[in-house]
Amino acid sequence: MTPTKAAIRSEAERLFAAFRAAGAVPVEADILLPAETLLDLYGEDIRARAYITNDPLCGEMVLRPDFTVPVVQAHMVHGADPARYCYLGEVFRKQNPRESRANEYLQVGFELFDRIAPEEADAEIFALFARLLAPLELRTTTGDIGILMAAVRGLSTSNKRKQALLRHIWRPKRFCQLLNRFAGRAPIPKARARLLERLATDTPEALIKAAGTFVGLRSPEEISARTAALIEDAASPALAESEATLLYDLLNLQAPAQTALAHLQSIATMMPAIMPAVDRFATRLKALQGRGIDTATLPFETNLGGTSLEYYDGFVFNFHAADTALPPIASGGRYDALTGVLGQGQSIPAVGGVIRPDLVARLKGSVT
């Protein structure tokens, strides 16, 4: 049964009060935000997800699709260090027509900016959420996209290939496509092979000229630069089979956190580049244990978060109801890089999460 607005509001207030009791300072954010920052961060995808509207004076504006960006922006301008913030308000998301999900709902969130002990901060947020949501008996999943990123950075391959993989770390299909090609498991596309053949005898300038009238802003120099990159890439040796196998193994790792840690520690002996990330994972598990979380049963997936809006770059978590048709009841994660992007030269490690009071109220209704 759908709870009443009043029931949702009072659930939201209860969670908000709990966040304040946990030491967070309440913050407000505008509902109508300039679209530019969000478009810059998420690209065209945001138009499919958020409501974008036009103002003759302010240009494109977006109805707040989440709080993280405005809260981070506010913190970067005049925040304390460390800082804990909480907020409560509506967010607006366009939904897939096939699923009849709400396109306007309340979010209650908690964000923690702390540069001293990030893993302790991860554990603090997760334990707080777990405690507040405990009566609902939700399924939790945790992950750490930072381990995958460290693995990619540590590959013995060209920087360009690493950059390409990192750029698509949130897009599983394209990531695997690239990985397959770099590992020599997928052939070079036919047109690419033909181009490389022609480039063996002709200059890119000659080929561009031969293609006819030149149109467009992308210059011949840019085109030539990319052909040079393609030649360089074709000459790069395939990723070592052992490295590729380890990376596939990492991508598919799903296990209880403590078991996953043991597995990752054994991978790290063959792939030393992930050692620091695995150490952070170990530290986080210890911090979680210290806060009463049973890490022997806590589910973990290396690749979790691979499908969400792309700003998480470390610890991630989700709380799901037994009813799989429902969106996550709560979710969150670490987004250190985002603070750098929005901070104009400054950055601070940050972790946060949101709870949907409408879903909590709904589940409570069906529990009692």
* Per-residue contact string for residues 227-266; x = within reach of another protein by CB under 8 A: x--x------------------------------------
Residue 78 interacting with another protein (CB under 8 A): no
Residue 99 interacting with another protein (CB under 8 A): no
56, 78, 173, 201: which one binds another protein (CB under 8 A): 173
Contacts of 141 (CB under 8 A, 6+ apart): 299, 300, 301, 304, 317, 318, 320
Contacts of 131 (CB under 8 A, 6+ apart): none
* 217 vs 325, beta carbon nearer another protein: 217
Say how far apart CA 290 and CA 286 lie, in whole Å: 6
Tokens at 92, concatenated: 């607006």
CB atoms inside a 10 Å sphere around CB 242: 10
Q: Which stretch binds another protein (CB under 8 A): 56-64, 210-218, 238-246, 325-333?
A: 210-218
Instruction: Report in angstroms how near the CB of residue 206 gets to another protein at its nearest.
Output: 10
Say how far apart CA 284 and CA 273 lie, in whole Å: 19
41, 52, 166, 207: which one binds another protein (CB under 8 A): 207
* 14 vs 47, beta carbon nearer another protein: 47
Q: Which stretch binds another protein (CB under 8 A): 25-33, 63-71, 173-181, 297-305?
A: 173-181
CB atoms inside a 10 Å sphere around CB 294: 11
Instruction: Report in angstroms how near the CB of residue 33 gets to another protein at its nearest.
Output: 18
Residue 208 interacting with another protein (CB under 8 A): yes
Residue 216 interacting with another protein (CB under 8 A): yes
80, 225, 234, 238: which one binds another protein (CB under 8 A): 225
Say how far apart CA 140 and CA 330 lie, in whole Å: 9
Instruction: Report in angstroms how near the CB of residue 158 gets to another protein at its nearest.
Output: 14
Contact 15/329 with Cβ under 8 angstroms? no
Say how far apart CA 260 and CA 268 lie, in whole Å: 12
Backbone angles phi, psi at 356, to 5 degrees: -100, 105
98, 201, 269, 325: which one binds another protein (CB under 8 A): 98
Say how far apart CA 88 and CA 25 lie, in whole Å: 12
* Per-residue contact string for residues 24-63; x = within reach of another protein by CB under 8 A: ---------------x---xxx-xx---------------
Number of residues that bind another protein (CB under 8 A): 37
Contact 212/220 with Cβ under 8 angstroms? no
Instruction: Report in angstroms how near the CB of residue 204 gets to another protein at its nearest.
Output: 7
Query: What angle (nearest 5°) sits at the alpha carbon of residue 283, between those of residues 159 and 162?
Result: 10
Instruction: Report in angstroms how near the CB of residue 189 gets to another protein at its nearest.
Output: 6
Contacts of 241 (CB under 8 A, 6+ apart): 183
Q: Which residues bind another protein (CB under 8 A)?
A: 39, 43-45, 47-48, 97-98, 164, 167-168, 171, 173-174, 177, 189, 191-192, 195, 204, 207-208, 211-218, 220, 222-223, 225-227, 230
